[in-house]
Structure 1
Amino acid sequence: MKRLALLLHHAGTAPDLIYPSLRKMEQVETITFFIRSPTNKSLNDIYDKVIGTIGPGIECQNELDMIEKFIAYHKKYKIDGVLTFAEMLLKPVSIISKYLHIKFPSPEIIERVQNKAKQRRRLAEQNVPIPRFFEIHDASQLKCAAQSIGFPSLLKPNFGGGGYGIFEVHNETELNEKYREEQSKYENIILEGESSTFNLEEKMIGTSWHNSELFADYVSVESIIKSGQIHHLTVTDRTQMYKPFRESGFITPSSLRGNYIQKLHEITTAALEALELDNMMTHTEIMFTPDGPKIIEVNARPGGTTPFRIGNASNGQYDVFFQLAKLALGEEIDTKPYFVKYAASKVSLCPEGEWLIKFIDFSRVNDIDSIDLVIPIAQRGQLVSSYRGIEDLLGLYYLSNENVHALLADMYSIDGKLYVQYK
């Protein structure tokens, strides 16, 4: 009997989506170390209902407490591997892996990939194409940043994701205004309680590689790395963003032509090698530009809502959770997914601005042909903001269809079916 530690964070994937895959592990006991949400009652209810159904559950107050409780448990009952699907727990996994003598990127490598400025400096040193950027440590550097990057440009936090805290600025006055707004609003959603610097980066000009304008001008490449060998599982197409810069949906496998896929694989391999990532899954976002593909960012984790993260009709014969559990235990993994149809995930988000939800009804979404699963998130009385990107998503949906164009049409129909009243 082997033991696998699953580290859960309230900002990561919920256990009810992970556990069905871990139940398939033969002769493996799963011990769940988890951190509850301070505000999300519905998620905590899921924790109460699900955690403990496939092995012991141990509640932790924070990341340090989680590491200490892991070590205490390991001293009594030997644990063979550690696994997380939450980016905010990558450093604890790194520390625990070192304690267990398991190969995993060091805390320094994890910090380099999580901090977008450090990541980009490393990629630039290795000649991996990225947008021009200037790291801003305080307001005294705003003028220099403006002179270096020019306008229009994007102001972004160095710890973020899903469109969190991104502003487009067109002149130095706007840059000063939005930087002040960042100082009052920003919360680190990757490393709780830690501050962040900000980047001013060029606004990349996108170009289309698809034959439909319903696709966005960027994609992500989902890869798994084992013992230094990089395996690209799939390229994931994207739907057009919500304004200002909030991701909306994923479709896999990509419908791009093979020569485009090859270019995306090549730039992703170069980025992953430059960042020295190993024994994990990665999610690399890439923009199509007239000068060729450029890396938006590399994430040392699976994509947040990529459609093969759950075991429904969408994922064909490949179960990411199952494969990464095997990777964590040092077992052989499958690196060649087979998708029986096009699969998609979609999020619903509020309009630009800050809104109070007066009423929300998901019932009509279930009538969409391609829908496999509807996960309501937002509730009446909740305050939501476009500033927070997909942190404030209204709902999450998984879809599949053998026809990619029918799938796209159904994805775009969701927002029309979802009924929301705002104040």
Structure 2
Amino acid sequence: MARRRALILVEGHPRCTGLLYVQAAQRLGLHPIVLSADPARYNYIAAEGIETIRVDTHNLDALIRECSRLRATYDIAGITSDIESVYATVGKLCRYFGLPGPNPASIERCCDKFTQRQFLAEAGVPVPAYHLATNARDVESAAAEIGLPVILKPAVGAGSRGVRLCRNVEEVAEHTTYLLGGKHIWRSSPKILVEEFAQGPYYNADIMGDEVIGIYAGEFGPRPHFVFRELTLPAPLTDDELERIVDVSLSCLQALGLGWGPTNVELRWTKSGPVVIEVNPRLPGTPCPQMIQLAYGVDIITEHIKLAIGDEWDLRETLSQTAAARILVPDRDGTINSIAGESLAAAVAGVAEVKFYVEPKTAFIRKGDSRDWIGHVIVASPSPARTKAILQRAVDLISWSITPLPTLGE
């Protein structure tokens, strides 16, 4: 009797894309098995009845032991993840078991933002001016040399955690104290990237292999933080702008030794043209995979899994629409009492998805990063103007109420 083919998923995004990987694997006839250090993070695991194994997912030897044990029962077709922090380890696992996967050295090079910058700059890829700092004095002198405003960010991390625009010396000192004073949780020894604030419209290029699938335009909420508010695919670009962004994005692959599987390149269009802010050696999270499917008819998560199991993959476009997403973010801290209008918004023609990640009666304190998202609305239509109108109509139907948190002494 033939053994079941399993897809090993090392961790997964708890909000949305983790579940999308599980569902895509099932549609391909695979048995998904999630390896996680904390399976309770994923509410979809219990809801979907997914086989799960608790294991330290940063410990390669422990992962090898679990996968070896699973091979006694299953035919392991592939191993993958959508989480950047474990993706290099996934690459090492794939090599150990002779499965298709990313180059671990390239992933590690990419995940350290300072090292990434060095490789990009050496290859002639346009990047903002930058310095590495490990203490307050280094941060201060780097900011003075680059010139204010500057962005301070942890050299290792994701989701805009710890990233802040500092417009004066006081803000530089304040955010340095935050990063080095024990409030920011470091995954490695503290290293701060001090960089020039590249000013101009934000774009985001999604790549699979060496093919640019789509370029989004993005907008952020209020500074000094960088919390996404809206994404549009395809971005409204001239042919020349499109060509230059594609060229720069593909040059990042060459510089960093990427080109297997998904890559996501974040850029700003400055006075001198496209400047690379960051290269992420993974698929972007929600709402991007859903937007690619709505705009172009490409199920990028399914195609990533096909690549991971050694099957033929197909990025041919079958649709030509404009997709847009609004990220729902509260404007103040407090307890989210009620959420209204979700089903009304979902019923609007052209709305593909309305989703909240929080339940009513949830206490909420803004962090100034992607943890501030409480939901999203995704829409699509054949016309950019119509898509924008549908998105605004749907968002206008949604509301929530927030009660301020009690202050000390109350």
TM-score over 0.5 (shorter chain): yes
Q: Hey, what does 1:262 align to over in structure 2?
A: 243
Per the TM alignment, residue 389 of structure 1 is displaced from its structure 2 partner at its CA by 1.1
User: Could you report, residue by residue, the CA deviation over 1:308-355 in whole angstroms, capped at 9, with x for unpaired residues?
Assistant: 34897x25531112111110112221133333422233311122x644
Alpha-carbon shift at residue 111 of structure 1 (Å): 1.7
Q: Aligned residue for 1:47?
A: 45
Match of 1:18 among 6, 18, 21: 21
Q: Secondary structure at 2:76's aligned position in 1?
A: coil
| Alignment correspondent of 1:164 | 161
2:172 corresponds to 1:175: yes
For residues 79-104 of structure 1, the C-alpha deviation after alignment (integer angstroms, 9 at most, x for no partner) is 23212122222022112111022354
Instruction: Check conservation: 1:223, 1:231, Cα contact below 8 A.
Output: yes
- What aligned pairs does 1:10-409 form with structure 2 within 5 A after superposition? 11=14, 13-25=16-28, 28-36=30-38, 43-44=42-43, 46-52=44-50, 56-64=51-59, 65-74=62-71, 76-183=73-180, 184-188=182-186, 193-206=187-200, 217-225=201-209, 230-243=210-223, 244-309=225-290, 314=294, 316-351=296-331, 354-363=333-342, 364-366=344-346, 368-409=348-389
Q: Structure 1's 35 and 10: CA in aligned 2 closer, same or farther, altered over 3 A?
A: farther
CA distance in 1, matches of 2:158, 2:241: 25
Q: Distance in 2 between matches of 1:288 and 1:10?
A: 29
For 2:37 and 2:391, how far apart are their aligned partners in 1?
33
> Unpaired runs of 5+ in structure 1?
207-216
Aligned-pair CA distance for 1:246: 1.1
CA distance in 2, matches of 1:167, 1:121: 21
Q: Could you say if the C-alpha distance between residues 361 and 88 of structure 1 is closer, same or farther in structure 2, counting changes exceeding 3 Å?
A: farther
Instruction: Answer yes or no: is the 8 Å Cα contact 2:79–2:99 preserved in 1.
Output: no
State how far apart, in whole Å, the 2-side matches of 1:315 and 1:272 are.
24
> Which amino acid in the other structure matches residue 221 of structure 1?
A
Residue 11 of structure 2: SS of its match in structure 1?
strand
TM-superposed deviation, 1:294: 0.4
Q: Which deviates more, 84-93 or 120-129?
A: 84-93
The CA distance in 1 between the partners of 2:81 and 2:95, in whole Å, is 15
> Equivalent pairs: percent with the same residue?
21
Distance 1:334 1:155 in 2: 39
Change (3 A) 1:204 1:414: farther
Residue 211 of structure 1 aligns with which residue? none
Give the superposed CA RMSD.
Answer: 2.7
SS at match of 1:20: helix
Deviation at 1:179, TM superposition (A): 0.8
- Number of residue pairs aligned between Structure 1 and Structure 2: 395
Worse-matched range after superposition: 119-128 or 385-394:
385-394
- Normalising by structure 1, what TM-score? 0.84
**Contact 1:15/1:47 (8 A) holds in 2:** no
Q: Distance in 1 between matches of 2:27 and 2:292?
A: 11
Inter-partner Cα distance in structure 1 for 2:230 and 2:68: 39
* Partner in structure 2 of residue 212 of structure 1: none
> 1:136 touches 1:200 (CA, 8 Å); kept in 2?
yes
The CA distance in 1 between the partners of 2:270 and 2:310, in whole Å, is 39
Cα deviation digits, residues 132-153 of structure 1 (max 9, x gap): 1111111231232122211111
The CA deviation string for residues 12-64 of structure 1, in whole angstroms up to 9 with x for no partner, is 645432333223325x44333344466x5xx42x2102143xxx443435432
Judging changes above 3 Å, is the alpha-carbon distance between structure 1 residues 93 and 51 closer, same or farther for their aligned structure 2 residues? farther
